């Protein structure tokens, strides 16, 4: 007989049990379910809803159940549908009928919302920590390449030279925004729904704030209907995770291109590449390619969750059982990608000479020739036209700007003097962008210094959370 089966006259069809059971995936919530139950039973005793003796018996039983689940000794069954019913069944097997008092004043509806919030806040902190580690790997490459120049691209065409360190710092900035979004979303995750019951609260004189404090929540979800039906925090996580994997995918694409024979800008460490079963010479950037590919499944989880929720009336509906697998999968997918990316970035070899050679054989210094003429008081549009003619001449003669003689330059404009060769040198071009956010070396050093401080702040935030919540984990393991 199901724990809820009192009003039924026949058992559910076996196919229904199999189709509706969630224990195959929501067992990931076991430790969080027990954390919530320990806080709940303590509150029940404090509020004199159950006796202190019964609460202590239930607490000891939950601790035994937690150890059995952790050791793989607990039998989790589809018959008991989900992690909540399985834990309750294991508890009553340990302590007898008194275990049934644990569910006083709560429903699986507020219980699952609680478990998911506990799981997700841990997941957010894990991803923030991994993002900070990836930022550190990018900073290490930036610090090592403050004098490395490569072409900057627009439309995948060479545009203007930049420092490789500047390019790395662009990704540090992207991941900084990801960290900000995850940390900001934490405050919306970190609210306790427990006590909302099935949808309308409970007649028992519970203390919701006491449970919230015990579980280190910042407060409670005020409206009971909202508490059990809200999955905005899941959608927000899936959306933020989609941005993380999108940024990783963009960096992956650059690594795939840069490691090709056509670019030869970097070489990825052998530990993060694979070979071909047929072509012995091959070294494939499979990690970068697979991260790029996995962006699709993360986006799919976001769209799936939005689609599930879009037509649901308020309060809990069985459709919402679909809220977990996508959340679990997205976390594991992004976590795995970030864990791989940091060491892959840190160990890659930057081929400085090849990058510099590419800059020397293009027209990415053409804008500086135009700016040079503007500084000689030629209107920019006229300067632009002059430089366009110079570039066309170079293309026809199979030359680059620095290959031209001063006489060649003067054939296009008398404003051009001997100092043009210094102005058009890649090092000068890069360091001329001496504004906040520019690619001049001293400005990139400023970016690095500022990023290091923000990463330190992020790591302190992670450490504070871990110290606060470790007590909960120890109590339920």
Catalytic residue list: 155, 276
Q: Are 335 and 126 in contact (CB under 8 A)?
A: yes
Q: What CA–CA distance (Å, rounded) separates 102 from 94?
A: 13
Q: What CA–CA distance (Å, rounded) separates 187 from 184?
A: 6
Can you read off the two tokens belonging to residue 473? 């984990």
Q: Tell the residue number behind the tokens 């293309």, with chain if given.
A: 395
Q: Tell the residue number behind the tokens 């203007």, with chain if given.
A: 160
Q: Tell the residue number behind the tokens 């059971």, with chain if given.
A: 21
Sign of CA dihedral 41, 45, 47, 48: positive
Q: What is the DSSP string of 393-443?
A: HHHHHT--GGGS-HHHHHTT-TT--TTHHHHTSHHHHHHT--STT-SSHHH
* Strand blocks (E) in 89-147: none
Can you read off the two tokens belonging to residue 88? 């309750």
User: Which of 281, 293, 110 has the alpha carbon at shortest distance from 208?
Assistant: 110
Sign of CA dihedral 238, 287, 126, 464: negative
List Cα–Cα distances, 311 to 19, 106, 314, in angstroms. 22, 26, 10
Q: What CA–CA distance (Å, rounded) separates 163 from 431?
A: 9
Task: Tell me, letter by letter, the H, E, C secondary structure of 105-117.
Answer: CCCHHHHHHHHHH
CA angle 472, 110, 19 (to 5 degrees): 105
Q: What is the DSSP string of 245-259?
A: HHHHHHHHHHHHHHT
Q: What CA–CA distance (Å, rounded) separates 458 from 435?
A: 27
């Amino acid at each position: 007989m199901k724990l809820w089966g009192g009003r039924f006259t026949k058992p559910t069809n076996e196919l229904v049990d199999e189709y509706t059971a969630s224990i195959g995936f929501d067992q990931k919530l076991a430790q969080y379910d027990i954390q919530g139950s320990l806080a709940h039973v303590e509150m029940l005793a404090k509020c004199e809803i159950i006796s202190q003796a019964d609460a202590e018996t239930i607490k000891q039983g939950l601790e035994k159940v937690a150890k059995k689940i952790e050791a793989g000794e607990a039998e989790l069954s589809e018959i008991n549908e989900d992690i909540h019913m399985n834990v309750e069944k294991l508890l009553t097997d340990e302590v007898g009928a008194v275990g049934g008092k644990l569910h006083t004043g709560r429903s699986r509806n507020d219980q699952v919302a609680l478990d998911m919030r506990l799981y997700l806040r841990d997941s957010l902190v894990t991803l923030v920590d991994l993002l900070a580690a990836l930022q550190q790997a990018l900073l290490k490459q930036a610090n090592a390449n403050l004098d490395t120049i490569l072409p900057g691209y627009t439309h995948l065409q060479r545009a203007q030279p930049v420092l490789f360190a500047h390019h790395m710092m662009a990704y540090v900035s992207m991941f900084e925004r990801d960290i900000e979004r995850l940390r900001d979303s934490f405050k919306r995750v970190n609210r306790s729904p427990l006590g909302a019951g099935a949808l309308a609260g409970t007649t028992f004189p519970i203390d919701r704030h006491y449970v919230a404090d015990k579980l280190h929540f910042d407060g409670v979800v005020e409206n009971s209907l909202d508490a059990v039906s809200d999955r905005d925090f899941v959608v927000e996580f899936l959306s933020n995770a989609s941005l993380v994997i999108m940024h990783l995918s963009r960096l992956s694409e650059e690594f795939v291109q840069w490691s090709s024979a056509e670019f030869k800008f970097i070489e990825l460490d052998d530990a993060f590449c694979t070979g071909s079963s047929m072509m012995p010479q091959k070294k494939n950037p499979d990690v970068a390619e697979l991260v790029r590919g996995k962006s699709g499944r993360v986006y799919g989880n976001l769209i799936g969750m939005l689609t599930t929720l879009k037509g649901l009336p308020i309060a809990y509906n069985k459709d919402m059982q679909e809220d977990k697998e996508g959340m679990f999968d997205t976390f594991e997918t992004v976590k795995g990608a970030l864990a791989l990316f940091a060491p892959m970035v840190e160990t890659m070899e930057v081929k400085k000479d090849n990058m510099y050679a590419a800059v020397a054989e293009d027209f990415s210094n053409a804008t500086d020739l135009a700016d040079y003429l503007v500084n000689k008081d030629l209107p920019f549009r006229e300067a632009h036209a002059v430089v366009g003619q110079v570039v066309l001449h170079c293309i026809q003669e199979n030359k680059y700007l620095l290959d031209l003689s001063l006489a060649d330059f003067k054939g296009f404009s008398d404003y051009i003097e001997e100092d043009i060769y210094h102005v058009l040198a890649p090092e000068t071009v890069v360091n001329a962008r001496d504004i906040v956010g520019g690619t001049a070396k001293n400005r990139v050093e400023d970016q690095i210094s500022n990023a290091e401080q923000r990463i330190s702040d992020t790591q302190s935030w992670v450490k504070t959370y871990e110290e606060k919540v470790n007590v909960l984990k120890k109590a339920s393991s």
